[in-house]
Amino acid sequence: MTDPRQNVAGVRFRNAGPIEYFHAAGMRLEVGESVIVETNRGPELARVVIAPEQVVVNELGEDNLHPILRLATEDDLVHASDLAARAEELLPEARALAEESGLEGRVDRAEFTLDGERLTFLVSGEGANGQREFSRRAGRRWDVRASVRRIGARDRARLAGGYGICGRELCCSNWLATFPSVSIRLAKDQELPLNPEKISGLCGRLLCCLSYEEEGYKEMKKTLPRMGQRCSTPTGEGKVVGINVLQRKVTLNVGGQRIEVGERDLGLVVRWDPSARNAEPPPSITREEAIAQGLIEPEDEPEPELQPVAAMPEAAPIELGRESTDAPGRDRSRRRGRGRRGGGGNRQSSPQQLQQREEAPKGRVFRRSSGGGPSGQPPADSGSSGQSPGGSGGDQPQGGGRRRRRRRRRRGGGNAPGGGD
C-alpha cells in the first residue's frame, strides 16, 4: 500500500506566499521543478517547494486535494511569460475602466490562467461598489471570464516588492509564507521608539520582523525582574525603574538614587521574589556567600599571559656638522655665499664650536669699547686674526664678533676698529 505522505506536494505560485498542497498522483518530484496544477480558477503554473518525500505528517487527506497534472515544459514557461506580459499591458486600460464602472479601490495587478480563459484582477482597498459592473465590462472587453479579488495593504506591498529599512529585500516578497500577527505590544516589549516611521513597513503596517525576536525577548526576560519589582541591595531596598534586556542591565531607585546593576550581580547582590511584583525580596548576599551556599560555582580566573614585546630597532648614529646629500631643494650656491664678508664659510657649526658654546659662561655681558685695549691696540678679532675656531679666542661664540662688527659699521659708518674686511 502506498504511503499517503508520498502523494502530497507543496507548491507556490510566486516567489513568496502561502504554500498550497496538491495531490502528486505518484509522480517523483524534486524541489524547484515547475509543474502544472489544477485550481478552482483553472490550470496554473507553480513551483515545487516541498517534495512528496519531505512531507512528515499528512493531515489534509487526499480526497480534498487538487491534482498535479504534469511537469511544465519549455513551451509552458514561454506561454506563461507571454500571458504575464499581456496582463501587464492591459493594466492602464483596466484602471480607466474601473473608474468608469465606479469600482472602489485601485487595480494593482491582473493575472491570466494558463489556458487564457480567465482573468483575475487584484484590487486593493475596501468596499465592493462597482465590482460586479467592472467584471462584466472587463469580460466583454477582453473576451474572458473576469473576476475581482480584494487584497490588503500587505499583499499589495508583496506584489510591488522593494527594500525595507534594514536595506534588504522585503521579507513578504522574498520568503515569508504567511503574515504574522503583529501588535504594538511587541514594540513596547522590545523597548523600541513608538514612532510610526521607525516601526512601520512600506505597507504602512507594523513591521513583520517585530515578531521574529519576540520569543527570544520572552526567554531573556524570565531571568530579569519586572518593572516596579521590589529588590534587595546591600544599601537597602530598591525598586526597578528601567530594564535593558539586550545588555541585561537593571536600573534601580534606592533611596532616591538611580543605580545601574549588571548581570553579574543580578540574583545575588540584587535579589527579588519572582512570584509577585510587591513581594518581600530575600536578603542580599555576596558572591562569596553564594559560592559557600552552593548557589553558584566559583569562576576560575585565567592567569594573565605575558606577551613578548618586540625589541626596538637600533637608531642610526647622527653626525654633527655634516648635511645629508639626499636633502632635496637645497640651494648650495646661496648657502656658500652667506657670511663670506665676515671670513666665514659654511654657517654649519663644527663639533668643537658646539663644545665651546656649551663651555661659554651663560651670564657673560659683551660691551662695546670706543677705543683699543690698555695699550691702544684694537681688540683682536677671530675673523681677522686668521685663527681657526677653537684657538685662544674661542671663549666666545663664533657669531658674536660678526654681529658686533655689523652693529659698529651701522652706527659708525664702517670706521669702527676691527671693522675692515
Cβ atoms of 119 and 128 closer than 8 Å: no
Give the C-alpha separation, 45 to 113, whole Å. 8
3-state secondary structure of 189: helix
Which residue is it, cell 686668521? 386
Distance CA(178)–CA(238), nearest Å, equals 45
The three cell numbers of residue 16 are 513568496
Residue at which a domain ends, from 171, 187, 219: 219
The model's confidence at residue 362, banded by pLDDT at 50, 70 and 90, is low
> What domain range includes position 142?
79-151
Cα–Cα distance between 342 and 401 in angstroms, integer? 9
* 135-183 tens-digit pLDDT: 999 999 999 999 999 999 999 999 989 999 889 999 999 888 889 999 9
- Which of 220, 274, 271, 270 lies closest to 244, judged by CA? 220
For residue 85, tell me if it sits in a domain: yes
Which one-letter amino acid corresponds to residue 74? E
Q: What is the pLDDT of residue 211?
A: 92
In a domain, 100, yes or no: yes
Average pLDDT, the chain: 77
124 located within any domain: yes
Beta bridge partners of 163: 169
**Higher pLDDT, residue 169 or 348:** 169
Cα–Cα dist 94/87, whole Å? 10
Instruction: Identify the band that residue 234 occupies on the pLDDT scale cut at 50, 70 and 90.
Output: confident
- Model confidence over 171-206: pLDDT tens digits? 999 888 889 999 999 998 888 888 988 899 999 999
Element (H, E) at 254: strand 249-254
pLDDT at residue 419 above 50? no
Same domain, 18 and 61: yes
227 in the same domain as 215:
no
**Inside any domain, residue 174:** yes
Residues 17 and 67 in one domain: yes
Q: What sign for the dihedral angle of Cα 70, 71, 76, 81? A: positive
Regarding whether 230 and 209 lie in a shared domain, the answer is no
Output the domain CATH number for residue 98.
Answer: 3.30.300.20
What are the Cα distances from residue 3, in Å, to 19, 31, 40, 48, 67? 21, 19, 27, 19, 17
Whether residue 114 is found in the same domain as residue 168: no
Of residues 8, 88, 11, the one with CA closest to residue 43: 11
Quick one: average pLDDT of 98-116? 92
Give alpha helix (H) positions in 196-293. Answer: 196-199, 214-221, 287-293
Number of DSSP helices (H) and strands (E) in the chain, helices first:
12, 13
Task: Judge whether 229 lies within some domain.
Answer: yes
pLDDT of residue 354: 63
Domain membership flag for residue 179: yes
Query: Domain count of the chain?
Result: 4
**In 3D, which of 264, 231, 237, 263 has the Cα closest to residue 249?**
263
- Could you tell me if residue 177 is inside a domain? yes
CA distance 385 to 14: 106
Which residue, 158, 114, 195, is CA-closest to 16? Answer: 158
Domain end marker among 151, 179, 198: 151
61 in a structural domain? yes
**CA–CA dist 353, 231 (Å, integer):** 79
In this prediction, residue 314 carries a pLDDT of 61
What's the CA gap between 157 and 314, in Å, rounded?
68
Considering the domain architecture, whether residues 92 and 106 belong to the same structural domain is answered as yes
Of 390 and 399, the one with more pLDDT: 399
Instruction: Tell me the three cell numbers of residue 159.
Output: 506584489
Q: Are residues 235 and 195 in the same domain?
A: no
The last residue of one of the domains, among 219, 237, 272, is 219
